[in-house]
Copies of this chain bind each other. A is one copy, B any other.
Amino acid sequence: MRDQYYDQLDSVVDDLVAMTAAVRTAVLEATDALLDANAEAAESVISGDRDIDQAREIIEERSLHLLATQQPVATDLRQLVATLRMVADLERMGDLSVHIAKVARMRMPDVAVPEPLRPTISRMAEVAEEMVASASRIVAERDVDAARELEAQDDEMDKLRRSLFRALLGDEWDHGVEAAIDIALLGRYYERIGDHSVSMARRVVYLVTGEHPEATA
């Protein structure tokens, strides 16, 4: 009975890692859709979001079932509660990828990102994807050191966002209001994907070290 319980607990973590991989794919495809006006990639993100939502429901149901039937205490309890939080982060990261794919689709066959901003947006997308990958490693391997890496990635994201706004508000901006709004929102979406990765990592750090993660505004 007890062994079966630990198998079920492990299987919840496996599902969480698989869900994180699905979100990472969504972020990558959304970026393809955005930077290459790739319609197929956009549709894949938008229709694939159902699977991510479903993964959340399945993991939630399993976690609740374990909470109700096994009545875990201490670390196991905290792990299940952390899991419930992390699937919420992941579902939201999936939604943000859908938002990116929809901005991309709305501007097709054009590319929504004006050429001069391509390097910045491309790097933001890369950092966001790397942050999801770090979060995945942290969840799968309880790798607390990778959490520090994530904070550095978050700092880079912050710098990229500031440089994006400088470009949008500089005298050389000649791509109009619509493109500026697109870019401001896209920057925000990638930044939020990064924020959710950090939030996942902090949950794991708390589980492992008992140190409370800071709240972020």
Q: Which of A52-90 contact B (CB under 8 A)?
A: 53, 56-57, 64, 67-68, 71, 73-74, 77-78, 81, 84-85, 88
In-complex Cβ contact of A68 among B68, B73, B212 (8 A): B73
Q: Does A208 contact B (CB under 8 A)?
A: no
Chain B residues with Cβ under 8 A from A84's Cβ? 81, 84-85
The size class of the interface chain A forms with chain B is 35 or more
Q: Does A217 contact B (CB under 8 A)?
A: yes
Chain B residues with Cβ under 8 A from A32's Cβ? none
In-complex Cβ contact of A181 among B53, B184, B216 (8 A): B184
- The prevalent SS among residues of A at the interface is helix
How many angstroms from the CA of A85 to the CA of B67 in the assembled complex? 15
Chain B residues with Cβ under 8 A from A168's Cβ? 177, 181
Q: Does A49 contact B (CB under 8 A)?
A: yes
Residues of A within 8 A of B (CB): 49, 53, 56-57, 64, 67-68, 71, 73-74, 77-78, 81, 84-85, 88, 91, 94-95, 98-99, 165, 168-169, 173, 177-178, 180-181, 184-185, 188, 212, 215-217
The 6 closest A-B pairs by CB, nearest first: A71-B71, A53-B215, A181-B184, A177-B180, A95-B217, A98-B217
